A and B are shown apart, each in its own frame.
Chain A
Amino acid sequence: DIQMTQSPSTLSASVGDRVTITCRASQSIRSWLAWYQQKPGKPPKVLIYKASTLQSGVPSRFSGSGSGTEFNFTISSLQPDDLATYYCQQYDTSSYSFGQGTKLEIK
């Protein structure tokens, strides 16, 4: 099974900051990676798919990059509404797997 390693596990930043989360796969997943945002008490919501494609309706301050085994998720200018936990997920194989999550806190 493919293991997804996400870092950092917690991130504290100020409004307006640029923040980046990294996700590493234990083997190549080409570009079959999605990023999800989960707010407390809610199901996850997809923000990015195929590593860098922005889901319709998602603000352009969110972006993704990478391929193979290393991927980045960036918020260009952090907003108060971005308080959430973010997960990467690979869908290269039929046995999907998620990263451990990054809890984003607003200073």
Chain B
Amino acid sequence: VQLVESGGGLAQPGGSLRLSCTTSGFNFGDYSVTWVRQAPGKGLEWVGFIRSETYGGTSEYAASVRGRFIISRDDSKSSADLLMTSLKTEDTGIYYCTRDVSYGSYLSYWGPGTLVTVSS
């Protein structure tokens, strides 16, 4: 099982950035994908997740990003995206793509993370 994030970089406050999570080694369509972030020197923060189509393909988001971030998935490409808009400086951090072991379960697999910096 592998997950690899890409798309991180520098963005301006108020701007947008799209992160991608490319996966391999498992049947992507059977699993939810969760995004977790970590501000520099800080703890882990759950960002949101998208369910598999089996469970409706719907998403849930943390209050801090709801209305600004959108998670999508493309089962044909075994990938998921995190579209981040109206970025704030406090969105700076490492963003991890993760997979649960089964629906609604703990996060058993993590990507190495991609760094997002929001600064003018």
- A residues near B (Cβ < 8 Å) are 1, 34, 36, 38, 43-46, 49-50, 55, 85, 87, 89, 91, 94-101
Offer 18 A-B interface pairs, CB within 8 angstroms, sorted by A. A36-B107, A43-B111, A43-B112, A45-B110, A46-B106, A49-B106, A55-B108, A91-B100, A91-B105, A94-B104, A95-B60, A95-B62, A96-B49, A98-B36, A98-B43, A98-B45, A101-B43, A101-B44
B106 contacts which of A34, A85, A95 (Cβ < 8 Å)? A34
Say yes or no: A44 contacts B110, CB within 8 Å. Answer: yes
Judge whether B93 is part of the interface by a CB distance below 8 angstroms.
Answer: no
Say yes or no: A43 contacts B96, CB within 8 Å. Answer: yes
Taking CB atoms, residues of chain A closer than 8 Å to B100 are 91
Taking CB atoms, residues of chain B closer than 8 Å to A87 are 43-44
Say yes or no: A95 contacts B107, CB within 8 Å. Answer: no
Taking CB atoms, residues of chain B closer than 8 Å to A49 are 101, 105-106
